[in-house]
Amino acid sequence: MSHLEVEIKNLKSEMLEMFLLVKSQLEKSKESLVRLDKDLAREVLVNEKRVNGFELKLDRDCENIIALFNPVAIDLRFVLACMKINSNLERIGDIAEGICQFVLNIKLEPEKKLLEVTRMLEMYDTSILILKEVTEAFDKEDTGLARSVFKKDEILDEINLNANQAVADFIRNNPDRINQSLYMLSAIRKLERVGDQCKNIAEEIIFYIEAKVLKHKSKEQKQE
Q: What are the domain boundaries of the chain?
A: 3-222
Please give the CATH superfamily to which domain 3-222 belongs.
Answer: Phosphate transport system protein phou homolog 2; domain 2 (1.20.58.220)
Distance in Å from the first CA to the final CA of the chain: 35
Question: What pLDDT was estimated at residue 153?
Answer: 95
Beta-carbon count within 10 A of 9 CB: 11
Print pLDDT tens along the chain (224 aa).
Answer: 899 999 999 999 999 999 999 999 999 999 999 999 999 999 999 999 999 999 999 999 999 999 999 999 999 999 999 999 999 999 999 999 999 999 999 888 888 999 999 999 999 999 999 999 999 999 999 999 999 999 999 999 999 999 999 999 999 999 999 998 999 999 999 999 999 999 999 999 999 999 988 665 555 555 55
- What predicted TM-score, i.e. pTM, was given to this entire model? 0.93
Report the b/e string of 176-200 with b at 16+ CB within 10 A: ebeebbebbbebbebbbbbbebbbb
